Structure 1
């Protein structure tokens, strides 16, 4: 059978608070909480809005944002006003657009995370608000403040990252280049200059996707960088994504990044037994602090040994017009046959939005079936093609794919 993949449309932008996006299941809206944190009250508010004005589904994105689905166009346009009143966004759309900022999720409650992480993040956030010239940055261009700790330095992925040096100093990482350690103020100023240099580049390619861009930007501002380290850390240990991860620290993982309003409401109720804060991570987990005992939320993963923690999947054709097939149910079925240490990505098209990086196994939907890619991304070379999802399931469950490859029976 000839495989037929429809080239996906590359929109080149992400939805934002003031830029809702139309999807197959309605309009989706996104909130980007400051430092990836929301209060229990804000979580209850979002759960109510998701039920009342959307379809009740909430996505926890790989940028530690929350995406509410199934809105009407009118409700999507009204949502920013409600979100700003709830403290979930900036009233100035230009500020909001520039604040694509990831911060170490455990800053302030993990003793091994750099103690000035939140100070650094606050300074960078203020500088981005003041930098009007950065309003023309691409929507996908992002920043990060990485204080290390239980979530190791190098895990946060962004175009420009302020990375702790462990001694009160910070280096700026941009693509394949890294600056010398400096104070918070100097590091923040350098980060803004690099971003401004990117704006000035004709058709600049984002450093997180094209690391060589980093060297170009350092040269553009006459700064001497050195080769960046810690670029090979792809994902955290699954044991850090669910269950007890530290003293009074508990992670609840949303399988494949999908929450229902009921799940979010339950997380909020548990948070009220601790410090009242829900810390969002880029790895689909919500972390609660100060709990007297382990929280349990129906349908959320609360043990680090669950294989679903090594699986990613987009919404598939249930929520995306570009997807060629179903993904969520298939990914959950295949998770049970995933070998130790292996990762799986099930994508509705070759863009691979849910997991742009490589996975041990990537299953990609096509017009007339599914393709299988080994140790690659969703756009990689297809090793084997299946006529439907049942055939994919039989292949994984019948015999481990790695054994078939080793035996020359792919």
Structure 2
């Protein structure tokens, strides 16, 4: 079966139609929410959508089930809180800021936002990753231009696809990131509004001069798990989805930082909260399972993949990652997984150590066939 590739992500003013209504994506500045913003989003999800909120790997939020006749009211409710791009503006830039950021990192992110006002148009999925804690922690998160640190603490600007980066100062970094984006366009990285940095680098392109890669970033850290960290409490959600009422409860505990790992960080909290619908056990197998909306919520989904993922979760072997996709696009996880299951009209296809769009190792499996695989106990 062929799948439709949209080539753009939804936004607040330009939602995307899905099987359960419109999907409205909100990009809070610096991936942070004040309690008032979080409460307003929770209310909007319940008043204008079906009450469900997704946490995509872009460290933002998506309201699901919004109806065409309520979309304008949703925009009017959220615009005064700075959660909607100005009318008539260009598509919002994709910027992910590490949830472990300090004041200097947030200042860099603000400066990048200002510098990008004069940057060229970029593909809708093109993204900037500000990952400049002591060591990179978002190496497995999709992005095109990365700001990281070297082992001795210097800032490095790195194009995704290259092992090395270019040293920059905090004063140079925002404009240098824009310059690297401009190099991407000038080098032919964008075709008909699409393109990614890694694809351009794979063709042999490499920036020169001040952007030339010379230094290695610090070794990356493992993906974080739920627990208490220096900045607050990290809590997870099954398949990155929560109810609006859950978000409203969390808003009573403090400001929230969005993460690209299907988790929220509650600022300043020194103990994990006892709120229904959270994953707080770092050993929970659902943290290693990635499942998209699937049918009937997605128009292209070929099965109820979240029900299948939920059924398989208790049997998944330790340290095994599982991606259950409703189609070959693999929206829930663009990177390889140990096991990938793709729903088709004939059954479920199995891919080993690959992505949803890769050739399957076995085809048309039933749920009971899947349980016989060695990766399930």
TM-score, scaled to structure 2: 0.90
Give the equivalent residue in structure 2 for 1:368.
346
Give the equivalent residue in structure 1 for 2:232.
249
Counterpart of 2:17 (choices 4, 14, 22) is 22
Number of aligned residues: 372
Cα deviation, residue 249, structure 1: 2.3
Cα deviation, residue 323, structure 1: 1.1
Give the equivalent residue in structure 2 for 1:127.
115
Farther off after superposition, 283-292 or 336-345: 283-292
Counterpart of 2:30 (choices 18, 27, 35) is 35
Residues 1:79 and 2:74 aligned together:
yes
Q: Give the distance between the partners of 2:65 and 2:277, measured in 1 at CA.
A: 21
Cα deviation, residue 71, structure 1: 1.1
Q: Give the distance between the partners of 2:213 and 2:87, measured in 1 at CA.
A: 34
Q: Give the distance between the partners of 1:210 and 1:61, measured in 2 at CA.
A: 25
Unaligned runs of 5+ in 2: none
Structure with the larger helix share: 1
Cα deviation, residue 85, structure 1: 0.7
Q: Give the distance between the partners of 1:369 and 1:156, measured in 2 at CA.
A: 30
Q: Give the distance between the partners of 1:222 and 1:147, measured in 2 at CA.
A: 19
Q: Give the distance between the partners of 2:10 and 2:4, measured in 1 at CA.
A: 15
Unaligned runs of 5+ in 1: 1-5, 109-114, 404-410
Counterpart of 2:5 (choices 6, 10, 13) is 10
RMSD of aligned alpha carbons: 2.5
Residues 1:197 and 2:178 aligned together:
no
Superposed, 1:161-176 pairs within 5 Å as 161-165=146-150, 169-176=154-161
Residues 1:181 and 2:164 aligned together:
no
Counterpart of 2:293 (choices 303, 307, 315) is 315
Contact 1:123–1:185 (8 Å) recurs in 2:
no
Farther off after superposition, 68-77 or 347-356: 68-77
TM-score, scaled to structure 1: 0.83
Contact 1:23–1:320 (8 Å) recurs in 2:
yes
Give the equivalent residue in structure 2 for 1:112.
none
Give the equivalent residue in structure 2 for 1:407.
none
Residues 1:218 and 2:192 aligned together:
no
Superposed, 1:328-407 pairs within 5 Å as 328-386=306-364, 391-392=366-367, 394-398=368-372, 400-401=374-375
In structure 2, relative to structure 1, the CA distance for the partners of 1:380 and 1:399 (3 Å cut) is: closer
Contact 1:104–1:156 (8 Å) recurs in 2:
no
Counterpart of 1:118 (choices 106, 130, 146) is 106
Farther off after superposition, 119-128 or 31-40: 119-128
In structure 2, relative to structure 1, the CA distance for the partners of 1:119 and 1:155 (3 Å cut) is: farther
